[in-house]
Copies of this chain bind each other. A is one copy, B any other.
Amino acid sequence: MTTLQDCLALDAQDPLRELRRLFTLPQGVIYLDGNSLGPLPAAAPARIAQAVTQEWGQGLIRSWNSAGWYELPRRLGDRIAALIGAGADEVVATDSTSINLYKVLSAGLEIAARDAPHRSKLVSERSNFPTDLYIAQSLCKQRGYQLHLVDSDRIEAALTDETAVLMLTHVNYRTGAMHDMADLTAKAHAAGVLAVWDLAHSAGAVPVDLHGADADFAVGCGYKYLNGGPGAPAFVWVHPRHTGRFCQPLAGWWSHEAPFEFTPDYRPAPGIARYLCGTQPILSMTALECGLDTFAAAQPLGGMATLRRKSLALSDLFIALMQERCAGNGFGLATPREHERRGSQVCLTRKQGAYAIVQALIARGVIGDFRAGDGAKHEDILRFGFTPLYTSFADVWNAVEQLRQVLESGEWQRPEFDRKHAVT
């Protein structure tokens, strides 16, 4: 049996243990929901206050130049690029994941229409995050493509000469299952299919190597593992072989070659800047930079490789402790046990009571979240994110102990934990 002492010993040996001080976490909270909203970087309040009172308040309009506001999407894009195996000048931080997906899917379909006009399908996974599917539905309808949704074990079979684009989320939001990006991209390319990857649950969570995988397009989220704050701007990457070939449809002035010439004719910017659209929310962008700073601090300690090692150790520990201390309570494991197929979260399944158990845990200060069962399997999900920048091994032990007590006491069956509409 693993003891709290064992976990404290792991913490004492953890090369990342000092990084927890980079975050401000509430007293008495074990936060296992950084996969949904990363916590507050300790440096963010002062930095944001500076942006508000000095840059906005004192600098006013001059801060577009003097405070570097205008460069933020590219500057932050370069910093994100370093976390996902992309090159400099290949990523911009901007807009939302949904909007960026619209841009790259549109581009992918346009490339396909030119290079392979007989291909009529956009393939994705039925269990993909819904906004990806909605955006794909909208574009397919608009452009005369068919959205073909398959189960995860049927993806390869769907890479036929009818398929134009494969759109996948690298790590599944409900189960934490991770695709082999390099393998699926290679299989897509072998079949003449473009590969679009959503890194919402990957960027800052697992090592990603877009160039190594030879991916075509990618988008991702700023407010989950990147700790960019609520609704932080998202990001978009385009392989340089595609960037200059066409314009994305949201061709606003920030995507223009010379926006401040104010010419009536559109001339797309030469590089990734053509994936920008309009003016960006600078205060939220400033918070995202603070989130990225927390990854910069991990760089001298080995960066994403060290983070990944600890992430797997944390999720391994959680799985082991659940078996040791909470067995026989009707939980299943939705997340793959194999490391190479696991993201940075662990998802438990339960036929009943999942919502109430999550609520009872939150009441005890252990914050995970709930996802309703999908159509196929009538099992709801209890979702726990393990974020090595600020989560300790002792946190994992204590979280499982709280869960054990919630189950043993039966307190999760209290009326106040009844399932209601969950907004997370």
Contact = CB atoms under 8 A, between A and B. Distances in A.
Interface stretch (A175-183, A276-284, A292-300, A340-348): A276-284
A281 B232 contact: yes
A107 B256 CA distance: 24
A398 to B, nearest CB: 17
A395 interface: no
Contacts of A251: 134-135, 137-138
A374 B280 CA distance: 26
A364 B371 CA distance: 58
A279 B65 CA distance: 28
Residue from the set A31, A126, A262, A362 with the largest chain B CB neighbour count within 10 Å: A262
- Stoichiometry, as copies per complex, reads 2
Contact of A62 (B130, B279, B367): B367
Nearest to A279: B231
A330 interface: no
Contacts of A281: 230-233, 281, 283-285
A358 to B, nearest CB: 11
A57 B362 CA distance: 16
A26 B372 CA distance: 51
Interface residues of A, number: 91
Contacts of A45: 49, 52-53, 57
A252 B48 contact: no
Contact of A130 (B131, B247, B264, B283): B264
22 contacts: A24-B53, A26-B57, A40-B52, A40-B56, A45-B53, A48-B49, A62-B367, A64-B423, A96-B278, A96-B279, A98-B254, A99-B250, A128-B264, A130-B259, A131-B252, A133-B264, A137-B266, A138-B247, A232-B281, A262-B372, A281-B281, A281-B284
Q: Name the 5 nearest CB pairs between A and B, nearest first.
A: A96-B278, A98-B252, A281-B284, A98-B278, A131-B253
